[in-house]
Amino acid sequence: MRRVVITGLGMVTPLGSDVETVWANILASRSGARPITRFDATDYVCRIACEVLRGDGSGETFNADTRVDYKVQRQVDPFIIYGIDAAGQAIEDAGLTDMTEEERFRAGCSIGSGIGGLPGIESESLVLAAKGPRRVSPHFVHGRLINLISGQVSIKYGLMGPNHAVVTACSSGAHAIGDAARMIALDDADVMLAGGAEGAICPLGIAGFSQAKALSTGYNDDPTRASRPYDKGRDGFVMGEGAGVVVLEEYERAKARGAKIYAEVIGYGLSGDAWHVTAPHPEGSGAFRSMAMALKKSGLSTADIDYVNAHGTSTPMGDELELGAVRRLFGADLGNLSMSSTKSAIGHLLGGAGAVESIFCVLAMRDQVAPPTLNLDDPSDACIGVDLVPHTAKPRRIRAVLNNSFGFGGTNATLIMRGV
Amino acid sequence: MSDVADRVKKIVVEHLGVEADKVTEDASFIDDLGADSLDTVELVMAFEEEFGVEIPDDAAEKILTVKDAIGFIAANAKG
């Protein structure tokens, strides 16, 4: 099998819209949780979210005009706009914006989403109800479809290799990277833009997740304290939005052109809980098997893995089940491990989470620092003996990293990466 | 009449993201202003909304330039 490395990074998040700004904010323990501004949330049980702030691109803001055409912006949902921009950052970072036609035949896209164009489906439904079918936008369908990030990005950069989009709820981003890495390993492509995006902060999205009892509702007046994975006071996740995209490249090709190589993708695991649509398996068996599969593929042992970026959404049940699975897998090596949830800072990016968090894993290795779990004031009893990096970033040796993402439907994905 | 022309041009600028001075009366939506066939469907919808007219599909197919749009609306709009 061919080796696959990461040679470009891009992200749009509630804490900024370029990799270095976001990472600096993560390491500075900043939170992107704020009162919802996208719509009037007065009557909602959850009135907070981690929104991407539109602006001129400076500080924590995102300027869609930088990489997304005016007409495209008008026609598509926010998740596609975030995805196009993150993909653009990544391909620019990799230095691959001027590939030859031959190279572009072998370069593709695998950028997924969990939900897709929910805000646009919601608003256009209201147009249909109020004004009838002849007022529905001709751009409605292709402006909402999940695979239209990959579609738009392929058109923008002329990428004619595999054009794919993963939909596995909150593990979409991680599955997209894992699947794309396999396409390169199996010689279907040499370069893949891979990742995930989400933009579902809208009345229907917040109401739907609230009714599923998934969102935090107890910290509406103190939003930065709401996302608190592993803490006894946690009461649900805070919805985030944004996108993460990496450039995956076949190792020999990357080496030959002198590319900057961030990391090698060495392990990928996938599993299903076969248990419940929203609740994780009570013994964390799916999470365990996903991690075990990735570990086996990587050829590493648990002693080699220094940092885990947890799924850790801040829900009462999920956090401890994942922790239990990690405890079971790592055994005596747990004492060496640092594990944190960056969802404490940027919220839960759903289909974008696994991609953005994989990038955090790569940066943790680059800078030899574990990002913090914010708000971990009073850890649950299950956390004893695990370094969850409370409150502040922790400099430490990081040789290899593991990223977990789990989704509704009982779907699990794990990626393992190491330096080259 | 000039009021109709101004309102048509404003819609075209907003939907296609083109410079206002490019939206001349002879400009073709597709050949000169970068529209694709779906953009023209959207433009016709916007004209219908703005002017309270119904533009049947066979008439819409003949609206290819800014002038065509202004002409149809001037002949058919109620107010």
pLDDT digits (tens, 9 = 90+) for B10-43: 999 999 999 999 999 999 999 999 999 999 999 9
B71 contacts: CB under 8 Å, gap ≥ 6: none
B33 CB burial (10 A radius; 0-12, 13-18, 19+)? buried
- Say which residue the tokens 């997740």 belong to: A209
Q: Are A320 and A339 in contact (CB under 8 A)?
A: no
pLDDT exceeds 90 at position A369: yes
Closest CA to A308 of A242, A387, A406, A245: A387
For residue range A250-309, what is the model confidence (pLDDT) as tens digits? Answer: 999 999 999 999 999 999 999 999 999 999 999 999 999 999 999 999 999 999 999 999
Average pLDDT of chain A is 97
Say if the Cβ atoms of B17 and A135 lie within 8 Å. Answer: no
Preferred mutation among A65, A70, A71 to probe B, highest tally of B CBs within 10 A: A71
Say if the Cβ atoms of B17 and A74 lie within 8 Å. Answer: yes
Q: How far apart are CA A376 and CA A389, in angstroms?
A: 9
pLDDT exceeds 90 at position B1: no
- CATH for the stretch A266-418: 3.40.47.10
- Say which residue the tokens 């289909």 belong to: A351
Q: How confident is the model at residue A46 (pLDDT cuts 50, 70, 90)?
A: very high
List, by residue number, the catalytic residues of B. 36
Q: How confident is the model at residue B79 (pLDDT cuts 50, 70, 90)?
A: low
Q: How far apart are CA A277 and CA A284, in angstroms?
A: 14
pLDDT of the residue at A220: 98
Domain boundaries, chain B: 1-76
**Which amino acid is it at A39?**
F
- CATH for the stretch B1-76: 1.10.1200.10
Domain boundaries, chain A: 4-263, 266-418
- A-chain CB neighbours of B39 within 8 Å are 71, 138
Interface residue B59 vs chain A (CB under 8 A): no
Interface residue A139 vs chain B (CB under 8 A): yes
For residue range A226-264, what is the model confidence (pLDDT) as tens digits? Answer: 999 999 999 999 999 999 999 999 999 999 999 999 999
Mean pLDDT of A397-410: 98
Mean pLDDT of A133-158: 97
pLDDT of the residue at B2: 72
pLDDT of the residue at A327: 97
| 3-state percent helix, strand, coil for chain B, nearest multiple of 5 | 60, 5, 35
Q: Phi and psi dihedrals of B74, rounded to 5?
A: -60, -35
Q: Are A232 and A375 in contact (CB under 8 A)?
A: no
Q: How far apart are CA A46 and CA A304, in angstroms?
A: 41
Say if the Cβ atoms of B45 and A135 lie within 8 Å. Answer: yes
DSSP string, A351-377: GGHHHHHHHHHHHHHHHTEEPPBTT-S
Q: How confident is the model at residue A131 (pLDDT cuts 50, 70, 90)?
A: very high
**Which amino acid is it at A335?**
G
pLDDT exceeds 90 at position A201: yes
A144 contacts: CB under 8 Å, gap ≥ 6: A76, A77, A116, A117, A120, A121
Cα of B52 to nearest chain A Cα, Å = 12
Q: How far apart are CA B44 and CA B42, in angstroms?
A: 5
Judge if A4-263 and A266-418 fold alike in CATH terms: yes
Q: How far apart are CA A56 and CA A160, in angstroms?
A: 32
Q: Are A358 and A246 in contact (CB under 8 A)?
A: yes
pLDDT of the residue at B77: 84
Q: Is the ipTM of this complex over 0.95?
A: no
Percent residues over pLDDT 90 in chain A = 100
Say if the Cβ atoms of B45 and A70 lie within 8 Å. Answer: no
pLDDT exceeds 80 at position A361: yes
pLDDT exceeds 60 at position A399: yes
Q: Measure CB to CB from residue B42 to each of A69, A70, A138 and give the nearest one.
A: A138
Fold assignment, A4-263: Peroxisomal Thiolase; Chain A, domain 1 (3.40.47)
Preferred mutation among B11, B12, B13, B15 to probe A, highest tally of A CBs within 10 A: B15
pLDDT of the residue at B78: 72
Q: How confident is the model at residue B71 (pLDDT cuts 50, 70, 90)?
A: very high
Closest CA to A79 of A41, A39, A44, A121: A121
Edge-to-edge order in the sheet of strand A338-340: A163-164, A107-113, A191-198, A242-250, A4-12, A263-272, A411-418, A400-407, A307-309, A338-340
Q: How far apart are CA A297 and CA A380, in angstroms?
A: 32
Say if the Cβ atoms of B42 and A134 lie within 8 Å. Answer: no
pLDDT exceeds 60 at position A391: yes
Task: Read off the DSSP letter of residue A255.
Answer: H
pLDDT of the residue at A219: 98
